[in-house]
Amino acid sequence: MSVVRSKICGITRVEDALVAVAAGADAIGLVFYAKSPRAVSVEQAREIVAALPPFVTTVGLFVDIERAELQRILQVVPLDLLQFHGDESLAQCEGYSRPYIKALRVKPGDDIAALMAQYPSASGILLDTYVEGVPGGTGLAFDWSLVPAQLPKPVILAGGLTPDNVAAAIARVRPYAVDVSGGVEASKGIKDAGKVRAFIREVRGG
């Protein structure tokens, strides 16, 4: 069985980023979306990224951001990967000289393979829970049986994952990676070190 990667998203503090890395996280996520309780400023993000050791992927999460604003952020924060979590078209995801992943919010009746095919240049597709009017971070899981067994891109599974259910989610979906934010928090934007360690331990099979 292949190794499942893990991303701890919604990092707002250097100490939480370092806890995630020490626990074995492959990536950390920084939210550049002002309406999120986990949003970071450019200055916060730069400080967090500067504190990280090598071989940790830094991911910036964006929701329908203006191109000029994203380019301004990239001039200041050395992000490795872009995550588009809004209603971005293929053209809006491309052109930043960075690989990207596109988030899809899953609901019954969706043809996930067809939706994925709209983003042929994506490095992977993140599957999250659909909640009307909310781009992500709902803390709710979707029906994992909706995910087809064979998909054309690496799948990053998100939405309501916790240390208690992530092993079952991996067994059901067989994703390339899992992405957690609220499921390892003490409060919004503040990670719980014990939960972070427990989550990654479960991802790695205990």
Q: What does the pLDDT read at residue 130?
A: 87
Tell me the one-letter amino acid at 66.
E
Q: Is 179 a catalytic residue?
A: no
Q: What does the pLDDT read at residue 131?
A: 82
Q: What does the pLDDT read at residue 2?
A: 83
pTM for the structure as a whole: 0.95
Q: What does the pLDDT read at residue 197?
A: 98
Q: What does the pLDDT read at residue 39?
A: 97
Q: What does the pLDDT read at residue 134?
A: 67
User: Exactly one of 16, 26, 93, 128 is catalytic; which is it?
Assistant: 128
Q: What does the pLDDT read at residue 185?
A: 97
Q: State which residues of the chain have pLDDT below 70.
A: 1, 134-137, 206
Q: What does the pLDDT read at residue 137?
A: 67
Q: Is 93 a catalytic residue?
A: no
> Nearest CA to 70 among 91, 54, 93, 47?
93
> Nearest CA to 8 among 206, 163, 191, 194?
191
User: Exactly one of 9, 16, 26, 93 is catalytic; which is it?
Assistant: 9
Q: What does the pLDDT read at residue 46?
A: 98
